[in-house]
């Protein structure tokens, strides 16, 4: 196929031939194909496939469930849960989604009550000054219930950043069947803003909002109901393009999630890494990081319990109950235990989990 | 519930909650360290999501 335009300089009276028109058609088809492009979707895990935390349900505000997705609430009871599609029942033909997110709200009434599904997007520079379209599939248990879409530009969490800029994108009204909705708006410029550490965007999908939040939600109001979400996409575009995940591949999406949260092991008898006795009562263990995390100071989140972990060295297992973070860098974390360890300085061995409830994760979420 | 933070000699800080020990180093980019510095803000995490600074 020839490139388009067919001529460098058109003149009055020029006529496009059939070949020219075929070139135009080919160029348009290429543009349509370009709707699939890595990085187009600024939302990570928009199809809720990645669930490193093995999340099932939570009512606690600020709790992460599916990777990158957390809920926020005040007042009443807001339950965020993981749901599974029946095979063949996913809302997009040809894209067999595995999971979807559900938010259920009850018992809210106060002006300051709220419920939302939320994702923090690294860097407030994302889509700044551009036209942005946010799209998602959703349904409700009761027809007529609404979702309000807002993006907050957060210029940092340390020092003295500029004040948050909250942009209301609009509301959508749901039915009881899966349908795709989109809202389009202008993301404000960040010109003149002061940006500090951990600047970010917050995509807020409001399902309930007291009058305190009228200006941010188009007066959404308090809603009691069941709201389901899948296929969330945020792109710099005038209209919603075909949905794809941020990376377009399963392994890419997992890696993108692991930039923020990495589960090194969860379960019994899982290899973690190697270790050595630094002294008789202190041992260090190395955990390799599969991707460089958002910050080189991720927090260690490790379950605690009797003999949850085992250090196999010198022909026997030395079991321990808890772990602390000693050092962390771009490629590895070094953990230690100085409460149960009993060995000989210099002894080396392998380190593993020793209980079904044992888990080791590193957290660099925004 | 107020978290009880322990600071180790090597500078690591940790607390235990819901069967997990969370440990971290001192870095303001780390949200756990921010909560350690400002525990009142951590309590209001719902409001944090909806904050209007």
Rounded to two decimals, the ipTM of the complex is 0.86
| Last residue in a domain, options A220, A252, A284 | A252
Are both A202 and A318 inside the same structural domain? no
Residues 4-43 of A with CB under 8 A from B: none
Residue A74, classed as helix, strand or coil, is strand
Residue A91 included in any domain = yes
For residues A31 and A34, what is the distance between their CA atoms, to the nearest angstrom?
Answer: 5
Are both A92 and A136 inside the same structural domain? yes
For residues A48 and A242, what is the distance between their CA atoms, to the nearest angstrom?
Answer: 17
B46 with A325: Cβ contact below 8 A: no
Domain of residue A229, CATH code: 2.60.120.260
| Overall domain count for chain A | 2
Report phi then psi at A19, rounded to 5.
-65, -45
Distance from the Cα of A37 to chain B's closest Cα (Å) equals: 30
Contacts of B33 in chain A (CB under 8 A): 297
Residue A28 included in any domain = no
Are both A236 and A105 inside the same structural domain? yes
What is the number of other CB atoms lying within 10 angstroms of the CB of residue A46? 25
Are both A230 and A95 inside the same structural domain? yes
B46 with A198: Cβ contact below 8 A: no
Distance from the Cα of A118 to chain B's closest Cα (Å) equals: 8
Give DSSP secondary structure letters for A323-365: -EEEEE-SSEEEEEE-SS----TT-EEEEEE-STT-EEEEE--
Are both A95 and A209 inside the same structural domain? yes
For residues A197 and A261, what is the distance between their CA atoms, to the nearest angstrom?
Answer: 18
Are both A276 and A224 inside the same structural domain? no
Are both A243 and A137 inside the same structural domain? yes
Are both A337 and A190 inside the same structural domain? no
Residue of B nearest to A306 (CA): B19
Residues with Cβ within 8 Å of residue A34, at least 6 apart in sequence: none
Residue A3 included in any domain = no
| Last residue in a domain, options A252, A283, A301 | A252
What is the number of other CB atoms lying within 10 angstroms of the CB of residue A25? 12
CA distances A294 to A107, A261, A322, B30, Å, are: 37, 9, 25, 10
Are both A86 and A157 inside the same structural domain? yes
| Last residue in a domain, options A214, A232, A252 | A252
Are both A153 and A198 inside the same structural domain? yes
Answer for the pair A154, A164: CB distance below 8 angstroms, yes or no. yes
Q: Is A141 exposed, middle or buried (0-12, 13-18, 19+ CB in 10 A)?
A: middle
Are both A204 and A326 inside the same structural domain? no
Residue A312 included in any domain = yes
For B22-52, what is each residue's pLDDT tens digit?
A: 999 998 888 889 889 887 665 444 445 654 3
Residue A34 included in any domain = no
Are both A158 and A213 inside the same structural domain? yes
Is B30 an interface residue toward A (CB < 8 Å)? yes
B31 with A116: Cβ contact below 8 A: no
Is A114 an interface residue toward B (CB < 8 Å)? yes
A114 with B50: Cβ contact below 8 A: yes
B27 with A305: Cβ contact below 8 A: no
Residue A27 included in any domain = no
**Residue A305 sits in which domain range?**
261-363
So what's the pLDDT on residue A201? 97
Residue A14 included in any domain = no
B14 with A61: Cβ contact below 8 A: no
Regions in chain A scoring below 70 on pLDDT:
1-8, 21-36
So what's the pLDDT on residue A15? 76
Query: What is the 8-class DSSP label of residue A60?
Result: S
Answer for the pair A167, A153: CB distance below 8 angstroms, yes or no. yes
Residue of A nearest to B53 (CA): A163
A366 with B31: Cβ contact below 8 A: yes
B52 with A166: Cβ contact below 8 A: yes
So what's the pLDDT on residue A277? 97
**Chain A contact probe: residue of B12, B46, B51, B52 with most A CBs at under 10 A:** B46
Residue A198 included in any domain = yes
Question: Of A261, A66, A298, which is closest to residue B32 (Cα–Cα)?
Answer: A298
Contacts of A198 in chain B (CB under 8 A): 29, 31
**Chain B contact probe: residue of A299, A301, A304, A326 with most B CBs at under 10 A:** A299
């Amino acid at each position: 196929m020839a490139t388009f335009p067919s001529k460098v300089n058109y003149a009055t009276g020029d006529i496009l031939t059939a070949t020219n028109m075929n070139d135009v058609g080919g160029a348009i088809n290429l543009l349509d194909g370009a709707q699939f492009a890595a990085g187009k979707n600024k939302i990570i895990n928009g199809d809720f496939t990645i669930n490193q935390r093995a999340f099932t349900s939570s009512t606690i505000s600020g709790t992460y469930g599916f990777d990158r997705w957390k809920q926020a609430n005040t007042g009443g009871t807001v339950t965020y849960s993981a749901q599974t599609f029946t095979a063949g029942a996913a809302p997009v033909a040809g894209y067999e989604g595995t999971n979807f997110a559900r938010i259920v709200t009850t018992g809210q009434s106060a002006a300051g009550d709220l419920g939302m599904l939320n994702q923090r997007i690294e860097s407030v520079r994302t889509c700044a000054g551009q036209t942005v379209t946010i799209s998602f599939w959703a349904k409700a248990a009761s027809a007529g219930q609404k979702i309000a879409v807002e993006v907050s530009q957060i210029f940092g969490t340390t020092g003295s950043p500029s004040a948050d800029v909250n942009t209301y994108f609009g509301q959508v009204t749901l039915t009881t069947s899966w349908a795709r909705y989109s809202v389009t708006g202008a993301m404000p410029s960040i010109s003149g803003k002061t940006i500090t550490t951990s600047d970010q965007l917050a995509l807020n999908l409001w399902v309930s909002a007291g009058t305190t939040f009228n200006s941010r939600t188009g007066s959404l109001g308090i809603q009691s109901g069941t709201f389901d979400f899948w296929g969330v996409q945020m792109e710099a575009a005038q209209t919603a393009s075909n949905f794809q995940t941020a990376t377009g591949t399963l392994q890419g999406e997992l890696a993108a999630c692991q930039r923020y949260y990495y589960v090194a092991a969860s379960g019994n008898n899982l290899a973690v890494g190697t270790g050595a006795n630094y002294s008789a009562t202190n041992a260090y263990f190395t955990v390799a990081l599969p991707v460089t995390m958002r910050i080189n100071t991720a927090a260690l989140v490790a379950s605690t319990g009797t003999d949850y972990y085992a250090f196999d060295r010198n022909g026997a297992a030395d079991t321990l109950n808890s772990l602390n973070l000693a050092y962390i860098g771009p490629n590895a974390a070094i953990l230690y235990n100085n409460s149960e360890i009993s060995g000989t300085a210099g002894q080396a061995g392998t380190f593993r989990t020793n209980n079904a409830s044992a888990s080791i994760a590193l957290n660099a979420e925004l | 519930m107020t978290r009880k933070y322990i600071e180790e000699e090597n500078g690591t800080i940790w607390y235990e909650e819901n069967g997990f020990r969370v440990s971290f180093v001192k870095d303001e980019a780390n949200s756990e360290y921010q909560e350690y510095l400002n525990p009142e803000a951590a309590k209001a995490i719902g409001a944090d999501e909806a904050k209007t600074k």
